[in-house]
Structure 1
């Protein structure tokens, strides 16, 4: 009976996924929504039956995707398949929401890496070159816009300064990939929680954002990367590029830690939720000025156990 239900669910999830793939591939107006929902069948199935049946489902769905949506659509199955499986398996194993998020992120990263190799060797498309062309095109359009409206000499100097930073931005492709995987894993997990709660009458949910706290070890990794960056390295060398990506990624985590602390502090002081939300909006809008300060706050929070000290005082 259980195997029969497992097979029935597998056929159902495969059918739902193929419909979503066809919508994502051929219907422009709703393709974004369909793409966001692609990991959900894998999350549901992996949550119910763990990894072995889910892996078989991924193989079957990959073959069906090639059959119905052409061979070049294979990444549409692999990326959400690996990410959704990792999330569903973690939920099946009753891991915490943040552990589940971490596993989902790893799944999406492997999906992205597969896509990179697939496009490079099968489709003969270099994603790094595409990324560089997009950055250069965006810069050229911005420069043309400012020239068209005669923004003044200060803008010309800023454009020259930004142009010097283009190689650095292009070298941060791996960091952007990881952040993209983090975002996709979070969104997929959040939707997956809603769907499974509805179907299975469960109560999966993320804990309040104020409770988010990263491991203390990332501070040490951040400072080690910072020390390496002070060495006389070849700017285009592997070590320098890797260090830049690690520093920026860990700095991103520290910023999130700082924002989480702001929400925690507001909660402990019984301040309205509106205030930390407004502060977060200002942090995004004034990111060049405020993000370094919030990052320092995150480092202090983790390194000196700031939350525990506030709990003791209160």
Structure 2
């Protein structure tokens, strides 16, 4: 009976995926729901049977579209299976998010390599070329209207920014995977809850707490960033990307503590929301303060101290 249900679910969800894939070619917004069939199937039957569905999808994609189109099913399939299998194993929402992020990172890396090999397209080079062309166009416009005296300085500044963006490409890849995993998981929770009367949900943001080890990783990356390291070395790129990613996590932790503090003190929900908005409007002034707050929260357990005082 169970085997029969696996086959039925697999056939139905494979057909749904193929329809969504074809629709997304003409309406790209449908791309965001492509992981959904894999999430549903893996949440019911775990990852091993999902691999068979994954293989069938790849074959059908090659037949009905072309071999060059398999990068999208691979990206969405791996991420969806990682999220669905975590749901099957009753992992916490944030652990599921982490596993989904790893799945999308693997998928994005495949797409990056695949596009490089099959189409000779390098995302980093394409980004640099696009920004350079935009910069040249802006410079010519400035010269035409008679304010092109500082064009050379602007070009130099833009080139410096391009170099920074190229170095932080791995961090950008991880951030994209984080967002893709969150959106896919959120949609997956909604659909599975509706179909199977489950109660999957993200816990309140104020309860988010990253492990203490992240503080140490951030600290060591920060220390190494002060060393005189060859900027063309892989070690330099790795340290910079690690610093950006752990810094982002510390910032998220800081926002989470602000929501916790507001809830603990029975303040209005508007208070932390306003702080987040103001911080995003004035990031250079407030973002580092929020990051420091996140580091203190994780490193010194402020929440635990506040909770104990109430008891």
Same fold (TM over 0.5): yes
Instruction: Provide the C-alpha distance between the structure 1 equivalents of 2:228 and 2:41, rounded to a whole number of angstroms.
Output: 51
Stretches of structure 1 that go unaligned for 5 or more consecutive residues are none
Please say if 1:295 is aligned against 2:291.
yes
1:73 aligns with 2:78: no
Mark the CA change 1:63 to 1:282 in structure 2 (over 3 Å): closer, same or farther.
same
Where 1:122 maps in the other structure, the secondary structure is helix
Cα deviation for residue 58 of structure 1 reads 0.5
2:191 to 171, 188, 195: 195
Q: TM-score, normalised by structure 2?
A: 0.93
Q: Relative to 1, partners in 2 of residues 1:202 and 1:127: Cα closer, same or farther, differing over 3 Å?
A: same
Inter-CA distance 8–167: structure 2 relative to 1 (3 Å threshold):
same
Residue equivalent to 1:255: 251
Does residue 220 in structure 1 map to residue 213 in structure 2?
no
Q: Which residue of 1 aligns with 2:18?
A: 18
Q: What is the 5 A alignment of 1:152-171?
A: 160-171=156-167
Using the TM superposition, give the Cα deviation of residue 231 of structure 1 relative to its aligned residue in structure 2, in angstroms.
1.6
Q: Deviations over 1:9-32 (max 9, x none)?
A: 11111111111111112x1xx311
Alignment of 1:137-176 (within 5 A): 137-140=133-136, 160-176=156-172
Partner of 1:267: 263
Q: Post-superposition shift, 1:77?
A: 0.2
Moved more, 142-151 or 34-43: 142-151
Which stretch of structure 1 is more off in the superposition, 260-269 or 132-141? 132-141
CA-CA distance at 1:144 after TM superposition = 6.3
Moved more, 285-294 or 205-214: 285-294
**TM-score normalised according to structure 1 size:** 0.92
State the partner residue of 1:102.
98
Conserved? CA contact 2:78–2:103, under 8 Å: yes
Alignment root-mean-square deviation, CA: 2.1
Residues 101 and 189, structure 1, Cα contact 8 Å, conserved in 2? yes
- Three-state SS of the structure 2 residue aligned to 1:194 is helix
State how far apart, in whole Å, the 1-side matches of 2:254 and 2:146 are.
39
C-alpha spacing 1:258/1:157, structure 2 compared with 1 (3 Å) = farther
Alignment partner of 1:130 is 2:165: no
Query: Runs of 5+ in structure 2 lacking a partner?
Result: none
The answer to whether the aligner puts 1:54 opposite 2:50 as a matched pair is yes
> How has the CA–CA distance of structure 1 residues 5 and 161 changed in structure 2, closer, same or farther, with 3 Å as cutoff?
same
The number of residue pairs the alignment matches comes to 310
